[in-house]
């Protein structure tokens, strides 16, 4: 059946807020998403104040977080939320029945396999008219959590401490979680809708009231000028993040709809616009596409902080930090002077997940395998694969340029500034060039776009890799902790 003009108000979840959706002219799935996150924010404050560790047992906190999370999932996604519960239950069975040496493999295959099947089903359900917030988003977060826990459980029970890196040893899980702990970790209301993925040990420490104390001990709070154990409040961090959320929402409502990505492949635009102007417009439309991500991820971070989760310690000035679960660093993104710096500050928790379950464990070709996993995790739309395969090529070329050329520009401040400005421009344009297919999704518009850009980034990247010598990278995936401590200067990707 063809879509009617009322299609923007469709949703797979509750239609309770349809009048508000019609009044504002905003798709109902987006209205439901924002409503759930705002309600989650209020619930998070209540959870911290009235169900804090000093007022309620861990079991009560787990149960409350789980039940509210299930309600939000059903409200937003209706019967499609069954996919979330099926995947959670299947992997709980694997976690309890599989042998420890294989638990991470079985969990990974089942979780990624089920996610991929759901991605395929979305092609037939939504075609390319995909809903902005469908059930696949939470399913992707749950897949991250399942595989994270499985790997950390394998590290904690199936491997010796000396076989692990320092990070793997710190995050290793020594005992299988109970059913309630497992459900709470995967389905809690703070992260069910928009994430982010967090480590199991951090989450359990938060529920049990050890989270803040544990992080303060890690940074040695006495050396930060405190004479007694401080009790940091997240209120300031939450207010700051809500301000960013509000600005992002305004930018989304004003900029994003006025600068559609599809215009850069419009025939009239291509015929009448010179190449450099098209490059400039590409930068503008890419910038305009960011506010919705800034909004969703910053609001999700604020929800977790409001519940008292996300404390990461004390900075060098003695100020409390609430960025343990932050998914982006906007300043570093907008000022990035390398492809690597951009990636490291965009969707931070997903990058951390990719590193922990793939990059650090891949026996060979870690960069390529990580990009492939990232593409599979995002979905099966062809545009995703154009983006991530192009990303591999540009990452390797950028690394070659940095390794071979950067040291020539460090001898004086003007030279260093010239290098930084040039690399900022190239990085921002390279990112725009790379992510355009991610938004376009289909093959035909992607090829049309790259033709209009003369495949210039592909050609330049290939020339760089052919002409510049490639310095070998040390891959320390299996290095035991004691060897890492003895030779900590080595790293894989610099």
Please, which pLDDT band fits residue 472 given cuts at 50, 70 and 90?
low
Same-domain check for residues 445 and 307: no
- H/E stretch holding 109 reads helix 103-126
State the residue range of the domain holding 104: 17-208
Tell me the β-bridge partners of 244: none
- Is residue 214 a part of any domain in this protein? no
Tell me what percent of the residues of the chain surpass a pLDDT of 90: 71
Same-domain check for residues 363 and 413: yes
Same-domain check for residues 246 and 287: yes
Q: Which of 199, 378, 403, 404 is catalytic?
A: 378
Same-domain check for residues 364 and 427: yes
Q: Which of 18, 347, 482, 485 is catalytic?
A: 347
Query: pLDDT tens digits, residue range 80-119?
Result: 999 999 999 999 999 999 999 999 999 999 999 999 999 9
CA 248/CA 462 separation, integer angstroms: 37
What letter would DSSP give residue 408?
A: G
Q: How far, rounded to the nearest angstrom, does the alpha carbon of residue 203 sit from its chain's CA centroid?
A: 17
Tell me the β-bridge partners of 313: 321
Burial of 491 (0-12, 13-18, 19+ CB in 10 A): exposed
The values of phi and psi at residue 321, to 5°, are -115, 135
- H/E stretch holding 309 reads none
**pLDDT of 73 above 50:** yes
Please, which pLDDT band fits residue 196 given cuts at 50, 70 and 90?
very high
Query: pLDDT tens digits, residue range 233-258?
Result: 999 999 999 999 999 999 998 888 88
**Nearest of 158, 203, 160 to residue 182 by alpha carbon:** 203
Residue 471 is predicted with a pLDDT of 65
Tell me what percent of the residues of the chain surpass a pLDDT of 70: 89
Residue 493 is predicted with a pLDDT of 45
CA angle in degrees (0–180, nearest 5) for 173-117-137: 65
CA 436/CA 282 separation, integer angstroms: 8
Active site residue 347: yes
Please, which pLDDT band fits residue 228 given cuts at 50, 70 and 90?
low
pLDDT mean over 371-389: 91
**pLDDT of 222 above 70:** no
Comparison of pLDDT for 5 and 307, the residue scoring more = 307
Last residue of a domain, one of 310, 325, 340: 325
Same-domain check for residues 90 and 170: yes
- Is residue 490 a part of any domain in this protein? no
> Alpha-carbon torsion 143, 441, 75, 251, what sign?
positive
Please, which pLDDT band fits residue 127 given cuts at 50, 70 and 90?
low
Residue 253 is predicted with a pLDDT of 87
- Is residue 484 a part of any domain in this protein? no
- Is residue 56 a part of any domain in this protein? yes
Same-domain check for residues 461 and 354: yes
pLDDT mean over 399-427: 92
**pLDDT of 477 above 90:** no
Last residue of a domain, one of 208, 241, 270: 208
| Alpha-carbon torsion, ordered 56, 62, 64, 67, to 10 deg | -170
Same-domain check for residues 253 and 200: no
Q: Which residues of 81-101 are buried (b: 16+ CB within 10 A; e: fewer)?
A: bebbbebbeebbebbeebeee
- Is residue 477 a part of any domain in this protein? no
Same-domain check for residues 190 and 46: yes
- Is residue 459 a part of any domain in this protein? yes
Number of domains in the chain: 3
**pLDDT of 170 above 60:** yes
Same-domain check for residues 416 and 441: yes
Residue 106 is predicted with a pLDDT of 97
Query: pLDDT tens digits, residue range 319-334?
Result: 899 999 999 999 999 9
Same-domain check for residues 188 and 120: yes
Global pTM value: 0.89
- Is residue 380 a part of any domain in this protein? yes
Last residue of a domain, one of 325, 341, 375: 325
- H/E stretch holding 102 reads none
Least confident of 9-13, 38-42, 153-157, 298-302: 9-13
Same-domain check for residues 369 and 458: yes
- Is residue 190 a part of any domain in this protein? yes
**Nearest of 351, 321, 317 to residue 333 by alpha carbon:** 351
CA 398/CA 391 separation, integer angstroms: 10
pLDDT averaged over every residue in the chain: 88
Residue 261 is predicted with a pLDDT of 87
Same-domain check for residues 146 and 280: no
Comparison of pLDDT for 477 and 256, the residue scoring more = 256
Least confident of 66-70, 98-102, 367-371: 367-371
């Amino acid at each position: 059946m063809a879509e009617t003009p009322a299609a923007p108000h469709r949703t797979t979840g509750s239609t309770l807020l349809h009048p508000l959706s019609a009044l504002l002219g905003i798709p109902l799935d987006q209205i439901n998403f924002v409503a759930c996150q705002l309600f989650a924010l209020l619930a998070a404050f209540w959870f911290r104040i009235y169900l804090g560790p000093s007022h309620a047992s861990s079991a009560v906190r787990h149960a409350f977080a789980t039940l509210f999370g299930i309600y939000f999932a059903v409200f937003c996604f209706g019967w499609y939320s069954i996919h979330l519960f099926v995947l959670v239950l299947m992997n709980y069975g694997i976690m309890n029945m599989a042998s420890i040496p294989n638990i991470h493999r079985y969990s990974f295959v089942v979780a990624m396999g089920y996610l991929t099947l759901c991605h395929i089903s979305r092609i037939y359900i939504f075609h390319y008219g995909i809903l902005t917030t469908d059930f696949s988003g939470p399913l992707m977060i749950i897949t991250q959590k399942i595989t994270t826990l499985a790997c950390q459980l394998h590290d904690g029970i199936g491997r010796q401490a000396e076989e692990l890196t320092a990070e793997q040893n710190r995050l290793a899980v020594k005992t299988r979680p109970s059913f309630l702990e497992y459900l709470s970790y995967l389905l809690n209301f703070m992260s069910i809708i928009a994430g982010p993925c967090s480590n199991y040990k951090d989450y359990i420490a938060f529920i049990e009231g050890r989270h803040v104390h544990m992080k303060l001990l890690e940074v040695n709070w006495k050396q930060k000028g405190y004479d007694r154990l401080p009790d940091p409040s997240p209120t300031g961090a939450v207010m700051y993040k809500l301000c960013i959320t509000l600005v992002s929402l305004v930018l989304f409502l004003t900029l994003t709809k006025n600068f559609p990505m599809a215009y850069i492949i419009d025939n009239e635009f291509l015929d009448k616009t010179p190449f450099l102007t098209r490059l400039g417009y590409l930068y503008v439309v890419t910038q305009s596409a960011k506010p919705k991500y800034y909004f969703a991820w910053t609001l999700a971070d604020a929800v977790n902080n409001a519940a008292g989760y996300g404390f990461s310690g004390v900075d060098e000035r003695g100020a409390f930090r609430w960025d343990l679960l932050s998914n982006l660093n906007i300043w570093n993104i907008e000022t990035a002077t390398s492809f690597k710096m951009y990636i490291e500050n965009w969707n931070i928790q997903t990058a951390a997940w990719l590193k922990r379950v793939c990059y650090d464990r891949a026996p060979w070709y870690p960069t390529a395998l990580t990009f492939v996993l990232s593409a599979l995790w995002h979905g099966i739309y062809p545009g995703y694969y154009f983006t991530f395969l192009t990303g591999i090529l540009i990452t390797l070329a950028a690394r070659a340029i940095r390794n071979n050329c950067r040291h020539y520009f460090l001898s004086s401040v003007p030279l260093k500034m010239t290098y930084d400005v040039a690399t900022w421009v190239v990085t921002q344009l390279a990112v725009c060039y790379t992510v355009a297919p991610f938004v376009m999704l289909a093959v035909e518009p992607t090829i049309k776009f790259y033709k209009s850009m003369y495949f210039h980034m592909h050609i330049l990247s290939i020339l760089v890799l052919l002409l510049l010598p490639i310095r070998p990278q040390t891959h320390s995936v299996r290095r035991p902790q004691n060897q890492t401590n003895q030779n900590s200067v080595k790293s894989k990707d610099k």
